Structure 1
């Protein structure tokens, strides 16, 4: 049983006190990675998930917000892969030994906006990832952009909670996109036909 299965489905990013103590003018936000259990058939594949220190430490900062994105994103990728495959291990380097597939996500972009930016009622989050798939020889077999979006209505929640919820919804959107892409990938899903576009 992997650490993703032992987790209870929530990951709260710590570090708020450090930013407050530093006198930063932005508001620290700690989104949760809250994922329902995907209803998919588990494949008997051995997967390595490569999470670099840069990926794990990713933050979004502007004049209003200081949001820890890396750890919730790591949890999202790990929990999603763990639902799809029987054996998932996390590493910080692309090590092909003893695995069928290596999944390497990197950050392409992250944008957060509030009602003041769009003159609307929503907080919105756009999370863009670049995901490379490597085979057991370490050669790239595919590469996908994953563009995820989430929003939360401002009038229902306070600003901090609304921003965190927008990020959480974007992470769920990323998890759905990852499942759909991996299920159509022949090397990842154990299928004999060509991978879907």
Structure 2
């Protein structure tokens, strides 16, 4: 099957979550999402610099670039962790908080070190995600754009808990939960997560693009 849409990421965790979310759509039950929905690396796309100053700007920058390069509808998201006592940081710098090529573990460890003396009452934080869909015309110019936002509020734990998910998942405990995001199943996480909310709000547009 020829790919029908590109998720502008090189993160296998995001690709798994996106396919799982689309898999619950009855309109796509006959579609092989493993081949219809691919990531930027599989599509052979160059890495897109995130030069925006907001999640929305970065999300659209990536989706527009991948759509123009491939000629296919492209979905991108920019997401991160916004910590209350850090004024919303790491924010758009979440993936490189400990340096340009830092690992998830390095970013997480640095953040925990910075918050070591912060009391539980002041460890509020939220995962924030803006997702974008860009559908190009034959010349690679955008003919349709849509953006959606999701937010998952919680509290930062003092130590990582759980082996699931990725990024800062092991240290965010969602409001009303006793587990970290990394201890939730993929289905549970998609139902409440910032990315799940943003992608779910975008799903109608994506399903329409895939079904054509």
User: What TM-score results when the alignment is normalised by the length of structure 1?
Assistant: 0.44
Please give the TM-score of this superposition, normalised by the length of structure 2: 0.41
Give 1 or 2: higher strand fraction: 1
